[in-house]
Amino acid sequence: MDRLKFYIDGAWVDPVASSTLGVLNPATEEVFARVSLGSAQDVDRAVGAARRAFATYSETSVEERLGYLGRITEGFRARLPELARAMTLEMGAPITFSTERQATVALFHFEEAARVLARYPFEERMGEGIIRREPIGVCGLITPWNWPLNQVASKVAPALATGCTVVLKPSEIAPLSAMLFAEIVHEAGLPPGVFNLVNGDGPTVGEAVAAHAGIDMVSFTGSTAAGVRVAKLAADTVKRVAQELGGKSANIILDDADLRAAVTQGVHACYTNGGQNCQSPTRMLVPRARREAAFEVAREAAGAIRLGDPLDPATTMGPVVSHAQFEKVQAFINSGIEEGARLVAGGPGRPAEFNHGYYVRPTVFGDVTPDMRIAQEEIFGPVLSIMSYDTEEEAIGIANDTPFGLAGFVQSGDPGRARAIANRIRAGRVYINGAPFDRSLPFGGYKQSGNGREFGAFGLEEYLEVKAILGSQG
């Protein structure tokens, strides 16, 4: 499964220098593939190809771009099982989740980009002039390992839809699904240079992308600390920066909610993707009078999680992505115990039934206070903090007492009451009573959770410049 070439200017090419990295299967702790690590010179080659291609691709018609998106979508559907298996191997998501969520939601981005593109008003009259929206240019896209293909698609689809060209740096931890995706793009017949892929690490290739003068926009998904670094590097060339960063989402369960249903749903939502999910509701807020009942339900829900081989369809949670991530999560679990939180379920160490793999015990803490590390910092693992409140005002205050603002959750028997609280949560997206995912609605954060939006018309507009034309009678 080695993938040692980069995709630049419509062809698979050797990197400038020879340096490789093993791709680790987190369930077995074994290297099963290798990729090349790129350099600033490789980025420069890719940017040059993208700049040349932009001159003509930016002038393509909506119909032409819809054709490319349609062929990518067809190729994606045809290879979806292969894409899902690659993600299971490279980052440990259970194969059922990889198929039904990881790969399928990635496909949604191309379907949604095509839907929006088909009716988007790139020109409209305003006052005595015309407002024209044009592709921003060459886009540097830096994507993470936790949703390796979804985050690639969330950026590539709107970029191609608007007429931009792309230089993609996927995560070096989970790069194989992106390499398969590049094959799909190639088979779709995009003009050479429109889509380019260079593998590498953040300090080398990621920073070269962020700083490159030939890149007009950088879109980054990852940690807040890395996002700050990207923004600083991009500032020298005043390029646009769109970021989807960390989260510490609160799940407010009101006193009129069905407690068993709400807590069970909240536990499983927290553990989505092994807890390696930026919008996970990792802080559950329950009325103080019902805390003991909430603890008992949460304990039952955590006990129902089935850890196991990610390739087994019966597995509901696989390992976390790496040894470093395992150690980070263990440190947070230990800090919760040391700071006095009540251990309701799980705890430190690998589950007894596993002698290999980066498996974390699904963990629930109760009696968590806002000053604890597990209440303030993003853990990125299957760890839930249950916090108590006495009044709605206190619950809203706790929910907003975080530097993050990616998502929020509210559970109530009264939709109007839930809506009033949702309006006051400082986050880019709020789910009421377990509302299902909607691909047409924007996703992105407030505060240190970022400054861009994905999906739908809002996602498309991240890749457009706005031009006012005055004096035209056309």
The catalytic residue among 278, 378, 454, 461 is 278
The tokens of 214 are what?
């030939």
b/e map 287-298, b = 16+ CB within 10 Å:
beebbeebbebb
Give the closest residue to 81 by CA, choosing from 271, 311, 306. 311
Q: Backbone phi, then psi, for 23, in 5-degree steps?
A: -100, 125
Q: Backbone phi, then psi, for 206, in 5-degree steps?
A: -60, -45
244 is catalytic: yes
The catalytic residue among 172, 207, 244, 461 is 244
Beta bridge partners of 464: 135
Residue with tokens 């993470």: 144
Sign of the Cα pseudo-torsion (158, 160, 166, 171, in order): positive
90 is catalytic: no
Give the closest residue to 429 by CA, choosing from 414, 445, 418. 445
- Whole-angstrom CA distances from 382 to 25, 149, 330, 360, 361 are 19, 21, 10, 7, 7
Is there a contact between 184 and 106 (Cβ–Cβ < 8 Å)? no
Contacts of 378 (CB under 8 A, 6+ apart): 223, 224, 246, 247, 248, 278, 282, 404
- Rounded CA Rg of the chain: 23
Give the SS3 label for residue 380.
coil
Q: What angle do CA 116, 117, 119 make, to 5 degrees?
A: 75
Q: What is the 3-state secondary structure (H, E, C) of 333-362?
A: HHHHHHCCCEEEECCCCCCCCCCCCCCCCC
Helix 259-270 and helix 291-303: axis angle, to 10°?
A: 50
- Whole-angstrom CA distances from 197 to 71, 174, 355, 369 are 19, 14, 37, 44
Beta bridge partners of 468: 131
Going by the DSSP 8-state scheme, the letter that residue 290 receives in this structure is G
Q: How many CA atoms lie within 13 A of 143 on its CB side?
A: 29
Is there a contact between 249 and 407 (Cβ–Cβ < 8 Å)? yes
User: Which residues are tagged catalytic?
Assistant: 244, 278
